[in-house]
Structure 1
Amino acid sequence: MATTPAELWRVRLGSASRTALACSIVGCTTLYGPEPLRRIPEFTAFSYVTTILIVSDATLGDALRGCWQALYATVLVLILSILCLWSIGPGRFNSGLAAAVVAVTSFVVALPESTDLLAKRIAFGQIVIVCVGTVIHGAETGVVMHPIHVASSTALGALASVLAMLLPFPCLSYYEVKKTCRLYAENASQRLNLFVKAFCAQNNTAAQDLISESKSLFKAVAKLLVNIKNKQEGMLWERPQIRFLKHNYIDPTEKLQELEIPIKGMELALTSCPSFPVGLIDQELRDVLQFLKKQVSLKLEQAKCYASFDATTAPEIKKECIDKPLWTFKTISSTEDVPAFFFFYCLELLRNGLPIAPNIACSMLDGSKTITEELSDSKNEGECMLKRIWSSVLMLLPSSESLVFALKCSLSLGFAVLFGLIYNRENGYWSGLTIAISFANKRKATFTVANARAQGTAMGSVYGILCCFIFQKVVNFRFLALLPWIVFTSFLRHSRMYGESGGISAVIGALLILGRKNYGTPSEFAIARITEATIGLICFITVEIIFHPARAATLAKTQLSGSLRALRDSIESIHLCADQKSKLTSRALRDKQQKLKSHINKLESFIEEAELEPNFWFMPFHGTCYRKLLGSLSRMADLLLFIAYKTEFLSQVSEMFGVDWKEIQEQIDDDLELFKERVGNSLKCLEEVIMMKSLEMLEQELRKNNISRDDELGRSPSEDVTRSLGQDEEDTEEILCSFLQLSNGIANSITSKEEEQKLKSQMVLCLNGLSFCIRSLIKETTKIEKEVKELVKWENPTSNVNLSEISCKLNALYTK
């Protein structure tokens, strides 16, 4: 993973050299190899296409996986093609029948959800070549040999990809993952040092400088985690014993994301500190802080040296002989000290790991289980087994998403082949091939991707024509002109302007001209291919618009409302229960938090697509506002996970050491109910306001239903629901002071027993951390209100925006 410009150049050049080597293997085999070997792969163009699909930014594991997917696609298409050619007859194929066969077979290939996207892309290309080639050659087409020639072309590209990953030395995913994990550990260690320095800073300026320095490191972390996730499958192909023999295998991405949660919490605590130096810190606390930092740093240092990622070989952290106490049990008198407690809580999580186990307290005190618990566990295992069997049965049935995807592929390829053959029979391949390799399971900015593909195809074709002109006297050496172009397109693939679609189209456009022989005049072929590619892209865009008529901006708005609803559901799930129910309650909150994260991820993808799509005659997308809303929602999702940990721990530990938990639970529940009512009502109001089409249409609906201003004023109590939380500090301070009194009471009740000291110190941290999370959630809700107001103002520039008034009007309209 590149972290500097020099490393970026090395990574890009390494990827380009592997791609150039793979293409050179194909080119040398088809252009200069022995005559029998040159005749077998008749469709050299698809050999290049297969190579580019497999080898770009790949490792040996990725190439092996791609080779397997190519084999799977080839076997599937061979069976389907031979059946179609035998049942219909090659002599009866015409443009319409070929398009129908392409549509039907593409639907069959695309429908199974378990089939990898790479296999589907290769299969689509093979189907297009078989059907169009049959139309071109007519009755002379061999029922068996024609599909075999297509299969051999695919095999040549796949084998060339594997050889390129082996020569001159193997490029392994395992080492890439190991290197990236080391980079992550170094990054996390740097952030830890910056945060500890900022916490101990003597003035605001020094602290803010250190916090700002850490933000660039956070941006690098996201890329590191994505890189590990992308290389994960390739590593399992290189080391199959991990997949099949080691059931306790640890996913490095999950482990590193667990580390990220408390690190993000530390940053949030620092940004919430009102001033520096922190008021409650003294020399004793500095010593504790340095001790914790030393232990976490040791943990991160050992993470750099992981030889593999299974539980049997992961090194254990050496424990210090003298275990200093985490907290000095001093009471705090101001809510300004609460962020410091949360900072220590996150540092403790970073040292000991996240409390994922369902029964934290009991595992600390007693490892045994009662008979009731064992029976309950066996019952749960039986229920889980039935659920797994049922889910396996459901996996065999196509989902609505896979059905839509199959229909899109079927119609797009069918129409592309039909119109491509009608326009130019000899070059009818390219309309279907252009889009066959570009299908994606997820939504993308359709116009942007199509535009990038068209520009990439044109650039590659023009480059090929120019090189043919330059090397017209030395035709055998023109293949060398591909090498600098492959390097250039490897950078182009990672650019914001062209992306993967444009980069792949650009390199294939040049390869088809410079890497083949006997296809006619280069300029005529290039013009014909660009035209055919345009036909295919038009079919692709048309079908996409038919199946997905809603703009990404509209979907982002709808998803924002859904995210707020999921956030409200998560907040309503916050409860403190008796010990028997704490496990279920915490699990429910975690499930809601995971659902919220999925909503946020969808919102992020829609925002990215909306920022790329053209505006046409629509209002421009307010990307800045949506990004701020996305940031607030992400922080609130992280805070909810902390709340799940805290409520579970408090429910299980508090009543074990002489604390009157029932009274504490009642006080906490009262505070939580007040908090949930205030935040929940505000979020519900914002959901309704966001889904409003426009203020003008709202006024029209009010007049249509004869709702006057007096009617709205008659419902004025709803304004209490929508008043800004940021303008009502009394409720917030009341909640925080209540938690402060509880934590001080527990701190004062601590005895001299060492075990009790440790657990009650964690209770103090949990209570103060819980109050910090609640205050942070309230602050983020206030930020969301401001951004929603700005968004409504953006959509209604000529109107005066008052969220309370709008909410009253909406309530009056809905209750009419």
Structure 2
Amino acid sequence: MASPAPKRGSISTMLSASRHYAGLHLPEIHPEFRSDMTQLSKVSRPRMQTIWGMKVEWALRTSFAAALTATYAVHPEVQSADWDHATVFAPVLAIACVSGPNLGATLHHAWQMWTATVIGCFASMVVNETLRPVQPAWLRELLTCFLFLLTVFFLCSRPWALVQKRVSVGVMLCGTIPMSVSGHEKEWWFPWTTGTPCTVGLLASVLAMLLPVPHFAYRELRRRLAHQAATQRQVLQCQYHSVASASRAQHVAAAHLLEGFRDNLAAMRGLLSAAQHELFLCPRRYGRLKRSVTFFETQLTALRSLQVTAQSNTGINSATHVKFQKVTDSSWRASLKAVADAVNEVVTAEAEQPFDENLASELEAAQKALDDDVANARAEIVYPQGSLYNEDEHNADHFVEHINRMASYFALNELIVACVKMCKLPAAVHPPARRRLLQTAGRVRRWLSMPSLAMAKEAFKKTLSLGVLSIFAWIPEMREGRPEFMWGFIAACFVFSDNEGSSINTGIGRIVGTLFGGMVGLIALNCLSQLNVQHYETGGLVVYVIVCVSWTTFCSLMRSSPRHGYTATVAGFSIYIMVVGKLESFGQKTAHDVVLHRIQEQFIGASVYILVEMLLWRRSAREKVNDEQLSILRAIQTSFKTAVAPHLAFIAKQESKVGSLIETAKAERAGNQAVETAKSGLVAASSEPTFWSKSFPFSQYQRLLHSEEKALRLTHTLAAATRDAAIEEIDEMVPTLVASYSAAASKSLEAVIKKMEQWEAMGNSLCEICRFTVDSGAHAHGTLDLESTLPESEVIAAALALFDLQNADGLLRIGASKHFERFVATHKPTSNSYALSVNAMLFCLLNFTATMVELGDRLRVVQATERAVLHA
């Protein structure tokens, strides 16, 4: 009976196909390789906390801080003091400050809020005491309003965090406007009646992170580093198997692991800033953690390059590939183990201990062994006619297979180089006290400097919104009968945002959260009054605290939501605003009046600021996303032009090496930052009102960003390849190919950016891209005159025909014999790196063109959708 056929696409099918095709056997994938890589680490893979576990811990710690501050806020002695309804700030800031289940993040936010509170109190004292002796009263109030708004403009135009602007202005108005309303009859220390509850709330939030067991960010960072090391070992395993067995399943598995690798790396960057506050007195430990995170950051680009280049090897099953793989298999595995050794050293060494000096030498030895094996394999497999190829293989694009294969070895070589550089870096040294003092002085000087025009416009909008709300402070009915008008100011302060979409998101979240919190507060107050619970008794106060903390616990479980987290936070502390407000009225107002008035004021304050944001100097999140699109495309263009500049101008590489490295690094950072900024702006852009029939094309922008990320990765790999490829060592036909492809791609990028700037003409961008590419590339191949034109219906077909890999194979095959004979005959230690660089460069050029066509197509779809929305 015949054995069942293996499934299509399985590893066994690919192996059988290659053996049948070539009569050879692929190198055996050693079963102990996976176990060796898994057991290589001295520490086991850490058990990461689940998402639900993080939510529960966050909620419990928030509830503990809320319980402490609620007990303070409802205490009879605190209620009887002349705090002018400011005790509620204690639970509000305590809940808002517990910004994550670790101590470092809470310390960071507590420090920001406390400095803003102190500055707001001092600013209020300056305004109050400066105008106290002014007479008559109406002039003093008028000058108070003017000086108050001028101080608001000053605080909002400072280059500090948005939360600091919100808190400082909120604290200042709570100390200034009631003083003006009272005719300056209050004491000079009155602003601290707001600053003291704020300080109590911040201290409670820090205490909640310390008890019962502190959750340190640096410990979580160490666990994530070990998790990152385990993930990287799995990525290396999957990439090795994808190349060795031509398995697309292993390649897809490596791609999924790399996405988790990137997400965990982003989380570690956030934890690093939190760990800096925890390890303020231990700079060496923080320096080691920062260096470890940098170690993984430097490898991410090389791992992505290896993933991109390995993708083209998953379908290679020719006899030449099998023989090449067998020669280099042992050195490939040894190189992966050497990299894993370095990763293991990063996550297991002590804080003050430097990297092992032997690691760099071991990595360099593994790299040299891999280079020798690649050089020997290349010398044995010669490409001219009459070599080891039969007729079928000779006509099967074997040179393209060689390009793909050699590009993979180049990416692995770059990974080893990145590891060697990090192992050789000296230990981080903490800056001396003098330098830190100068840095602090520089930050203070920047804080006191004149604002830019953009910052002045944003500060003016915030000042104008509070100026409109200041009218309520001079209406007798509001001043005497509804002291809740202050919450309109506070709502406007805490809706301050950087663009229209964020303001709408924050305003809606605040209104909805206040509504839910107010409803629950009203129900609780009515139920407790029906049960005859007296707020002036100890038992009654305990019941109030239990009800409020229970609601806060429920809301805190939803705080991690990126879209509704702010709404849950506002709902969690709004119940304290209602309940404590009812207790502060001492029976003068019903619960219904307190809840209704405070909800109304919150709605008025948020609505006023949103209207000002929408009507005056609009800063649309959509425009920001489009601006970041231009930044990404310019970063791609800069990286590409910098990489191919020596080959275009035929100048010596040494003359522009340093400058090109700096420009490439800047373009890489600018491109990655623009991508992250565009991703963060998509949610805000989708919330902006369109007043049209269609919404923001969120999914189309996501696909466009995906294509742009691929283009950035290819340009980074191309820059690394051209950095090591000496022009004098490249075959004389290669610069012609580089020049033709680079000119075509540069013109394509120029067309994309030009059409991005010309909104109405964006619909034909893909045709322009293809036309520029076809004309330039075909002229380089001698297949088309530059004066001739192609019908639009044939543009895409011509582009696909032009960028078919057989054309590149035919051009490069002209000098193949001379090209490889030179490398076989030479014994220079760097000759193999030149060969790897040349092939990696050609691989990037071939794939970059296809990526740019895809990018242009998705960009056309996005702009066509936006134009349809505009004219709907």
Q: Same fold (TM over 0.5)?
A: yes
- Between the aligned partners of 1:217 and 1:335, the Cα distance in structure 2 is 28
State the partner residue of 1:498: 564
Q: How many residues of Structure 1 are paired with residues of Structure 2 in the alignment?
A: 737
Tell me if structure 2 keeps the 8 A contact 1:74–1:123: yes
The within-5 A match list for 1:603-618 is 603-617=678-692
Alignment partner of 1:163 is 2:207: yes
Give the deviation of 1:130 after TM superposition.
1.2
Deviations, residues 413-444 of structure 1 (Å, cap 9, x unaligned) = 33334457758441012112123234345674
Give the match for residue 831 of structure 2.
760
8 Å contact from structure 1 (residues 586, 647) kept in 2: no
CA contact (8 A) 1:558 1:691 kept: no
2:610 alignment partner in structure 1: 541
Q: What's the counterpart of residue 411 of structure 2? A: 346
1:153 Cα deviation (Å)? 1.5
2:221: which partner in 1?
Answer: 177
Structure 2 letter corresponding to 1:208: R
Tell me which of 81, 99, 111 is aligned to 1:56.
99
Q: Which whole-Å deviations, capped at 9, do the CAs of 1:66-98 have from their partners, x for residues lacking one?
A: 343344223322332122112223965998766
Give yes or no for contact 2:714–2:844 (8 Å, CA) kept in 1. Answer: yes
> Which amino acid is 1:200 matched to?
A
Question: What amino acid is aligned across from residue 300 of structure 2 in structure 1?
Answer: E
Quote the residue 1:21 is aligned against.
64
1:512 aligns with 2:595: no
- Give distance in 2, aligned partners of 1:318 and 1:263: 19
Q: Which whole-Å CA distance do the structure 2 matches of 1:314 and 1:46 have between them?
A: 52
The residue type paired with residue 105 of structure 2 is D
Whether the aligned pair in 2 keeps the contact of 1:266 and 1:346 (CA below 8 Å) is yes
Provide the rounded CA distance (Å) in 1 between the counterparts of 2:659 and 2:800.
Answer: 36
Q: 1:280 aligns with which of 321, 325, 330?
A: 321
Cα distance, 1:45 vs. partner?
A: 1.6
C-alpha contact 2:755 2:761 (8 A) present in aligned 1: no
Structure 2 residue aligned with 1:81: 124
**CA displacement, residues 578-627 of structure 1 (integer Å, 9 cap, x when unaligned):** 32332223323333343333443443344343233343226433333322
Does the 8 A contact of 1:563 with 1:599 survive in 2? yes
Residues 639-681 of structure 1, C-alpha deviations (whole Å, 9 max, x = no match):
2222222222224xxxxxxxxx536386443322211211122
Written as runs of structure 1 = structure 2, the 5 A alignment for 1:384-395 is none
The superposition leaves residues 368-411 of structure 1 with CA deviations (integer Å, 9 ceiling, x where unpaired) of xxxxxxxxxxxxxxxxxxxx999998784433443333223322
Q: Distance in 1 between matches of 2:595 and 2:274?
A: 36
Residues in 2 aligned to 1:335 and 1:408: alpha-carbon distance in whole angstroms: 59
Measured after TM superposition, the shift of residue 316 of structure 1 is 6.5
Aligned AA (1:405) = E
| One-letter identity of the residue aligned with 1:317 | L
Aligned to 1:258: 298
For the pair 1:645 / 2:747, whether they are aligned, the reply is no
Question: Cα 1:66–1:598, aligned 2, differ >3 Å: closer, same or farther?
Answer: closer
**Are 1:103 and 2:149 an aligned pair?**
yes
Match of 2:846 in 1: 775
1:328/1:546 Cα in 2 relative to 1: closer, same or farther (>3 Å)? same
Q: 1:151: which partner in 2? A: 195
Deviation at 1:683, TM superposition (A): 2.2
Alpha carbons of structure 1 residues 57 and 445: separation in structure 2 relative to 1, 3 Å: same
- Contact 2:242-2:251 within 8 A present in 1 as well: yes
Q: CA separation of 1:249/1:33 partners in 2, compared to 1, >3 Å: closer, same or farther?
A: same
Matches within 5 A, 1:192-591: 192-201=236-245, 207-243=247-283, 250-273=290-313, 275=315, 277=317, 280-281=321-322, 282-308=325-351, 312=354, 317=359, 323=366, 324-326=369-371, 327-329=373-375, 330-331=377-378, 333-353=398-418, 396-419=449-472, 422=475, 424-425=478-479, 426-441=483-498, 444-472=501-529, 473=531, 474=533, 475-476=540-541, 477-499=543-565, 501-515=566-580, 517-519=583-585, 520-549=589-618, 551-574=620-643, 575-576=645-646, 577-591=652-666
C-alpha contact 1:461 1:510 (8 A) present in aligned 2 = yes
Once residues 17 and 389 of structure 1 are traced to their aligned partners in structure 2, the CA distance between those partners, rounded to angstroms, is 40
From 96, 109, 120, the equivalent of 2:165 is 120
1:491-517 C-alpha deviation (Å, 9 max, x unpaired): 322225413x21221112122224562
Aligned letter for 1:107? F
Provide, for residues 9-47 of structure 1, a one-character-per-residue CA deviation record: whole Å limited to 9, x for no partner: 111111111111111111222324766997779611212
Distance in 1, Cα, partners of 2:579 & 2:673: 46
Segment drifting more, 576-585 vs 724-733: 724-733
Residues 738-795 of structure 1 show CA distances to partners (whole Å, capped at 9, x for unaligned) of: 56777875654457998x44x3222222111111111121111110232234345545
Shift in Å at residue 237 of structure 1? Answer: 1.5
- Decide whether aligned partners of structure 1 residues 483 and 213 sit closer, same or farther in structure 2, where only a CA change above 3 A counts: farther
Q: Which amino acid aligns with 1:9?
A: W
1:451 deviates by 1.7
Equivalent-residue separation in structure 2 for 1:224 and 1:411 (angstroms): 42
Residue in 2 that maps onto 1:677: 743
TM, length-normalised to structure 1: 0.80
Q: What's the CA shift for 1:531?
A: 1.0
Is the contact between residue 30 and residue 38 of structure 1 (CA under 8 Å) also seen in structure 2?
Answer: no
Paired with 1:35 and 1:764, the residues of 2 have a C-alpha distance of: 78
SS in 2 for 1:129: helix
CA shift, 1:532, in A, is 0.8
In terms of mean alpha carbon deviation, does 672-681 or 782-791 score higher?
A: 782-791
Is the 1:420–1:532 contact (alpha carbons within 8 Å) kept by the matching residues of 2? no
Unpaired runs of 5+ in structure 2? Answer: 1-44, 384-397, 426-439, 534-539, 647-651, 765-785
Whether contact under 8 Å (2:328, 2:370) holds in the other structure is no
| Counterpart secondary structure, 1:104 | helix
Instruction: Please report how far the alpha carbon of residue 354 of structure 1 lies from its aligned counterpart in structure 2 after TM superposition.
Output: 6.6
Tell me the residue number matched to 1:371: none
Kindly indicate whether the alpha-carbon contact (under 8 Å) linking 1:102 and 1:414 is maintained by their aligned counterparts in 2. no
Equivalent-residue separation in structure 1 for 2:618 and 2:814 (angstroms): 56
* CA distance in 2: counterparts of 1:554 and 1:450, whole angstroms: 20
Conservation of the 8 A alpha-carbon contact between 2:124 and 2:172: yes
The answer to whether the 8 Å contact 2:55/2:557 transfers is: yes
| Cα deviation, residue 541, structure 1 | 0.9
CA distance, structure 1, for counterparts of residue 274 and residue 824 of structure 2: 55
Match of 1:594 among 648, 665, 669: 669
1:727 matched to 2:800? The reply is: yes
Letter in 2 for 1:340: R
Question: Amino acid of the residue matched to residue 531 of structure 1?
Answer: Q
In structure 2, relative to structure 1, the CA distance for the partners of 1:346 and 1:397 (3 Å cut) is farther
Judged with a 3 Å threshold, the aligned counterparts in structure 2 of structure 1 residues 298 and 566 are, in CA distance, closer, same or farther, namely: closer
For 1:791 and 1:406, how far apart are their aligned partners in 2? 33
The amino acid across from 1:75 in the alignment is V
Q: Does the 8 A contact of 2:704 with 2:855 survive in 1?
A: yes
Partners of 2:584 and 2:337 lie apart in 1 by: 69
Q: Secondary structure at the match of 1:471?
A: helix
Determine the structure 2 residue equivalent to 1:708: none
TM-score by length of 2: 0.75
Conserved 8 A contact 2:131-2:144: no
Are positions 1:785 and 2:853 aligned together?
no
For the residue of structure 2 that corresponds to 1:275, the secondary structure is coil
Q: Is the 8 A contact 2:495 2:503 kept in 1?
A: no
Structure 1: how far apart are the matches of 2:816 and 2:488? 70
Task: State the one-letter code of the partner of 1:45.
Answer: V
RMSD: 4.1
Larger radius of gyration: 2
